[in-house]
Chains A and B, each alone.
Chain A
C-alpha cells in the first residue's frame, strides 16, 4: 500500500537524463509538480495524515486540490472525499503513485 513513496523521489516516468541540457528554470520543484497534474498522488501532512487522490490543481503555497481522495492515518483508511482542498502550510510532501 505504501509503495508510492518509493517512486516519489523521481518524477513521473522521468529519468535523470531527461533534464540534461535544459535551462535550470525547467528543473524546479514547481516544474515537477506541473507534470504531475492529473495523476494519482500521495500527499502527507505534517501531522502524519496521508491523502491519496488525483491531483487536480495546486499553487505556489502548495495548496492542493485532490479528486476522489481518501484519508489514511497510520496506513488505515479513515475517510473518503470527493473533492478536497488541502492547505499548503500543512503539507510535508507530494509524491506520485503508480496508476
Chain B
C-alpha cells in the first residue's frame, strides 16, 4: 500500500497539509531547527499549530584545541506550539515517509 499522494490529486501545494491534519509531521525551520509533532491547524502562510512536539536544534561548534567542527544536538519537548510560517522551510507528513528517515 502506498501512502504517497497521486499526482493531480492536489489542487494546490498547501492542500498537502489538509491531508496531514491530526497526523505526525516533520517540519524543518530556519536556524537548523527541526520539529516533529501532531499538526492541528495551518494557513496559507504555513503558520502551524503543532502539539506534542519535539524540537531538535543543531549547534555547530569549533573545538578550541583541534579546530574540528563538532555538531551538537539539543532536544526539547513542547506541549503546544504556534510556528510562524515565515520560518518554515519544509513540512512533510511522517506517515507518508518511505525508505530511511532520520
A positions within 8 Å CB-CB of B: 37-38, 45, 47, 49, 51, 54, 56-59, 63-65, 67-68, 79-87, 89-90
Contacts and interface: CB of A to CB of B under 8 A. Distances in A.
Interface string B68-102: 00000000000000000110111111011111111
Task: Give the interface size bracket for B toward A.
Answer: 20 to 34
Given A63-B14, A67-B5, A68-B4, A80 B99 contact: yes
Interface of B: 3-5, 7-17, 26, 46, 85-86, 88-93, 95-102
Nearest 4 CB-CB pairings of A with B:
A82-B96, A63-B13, A84-B92, A57-B10
A85 B9 CA distance: 14
Contacts of B97: 80-82
Helix, strand, loop or mixed for chain B's interface?
loop
B92 A82 contact: yes
Given A38-B7, A56-B5, A80-B101, A85 B96 contact: no
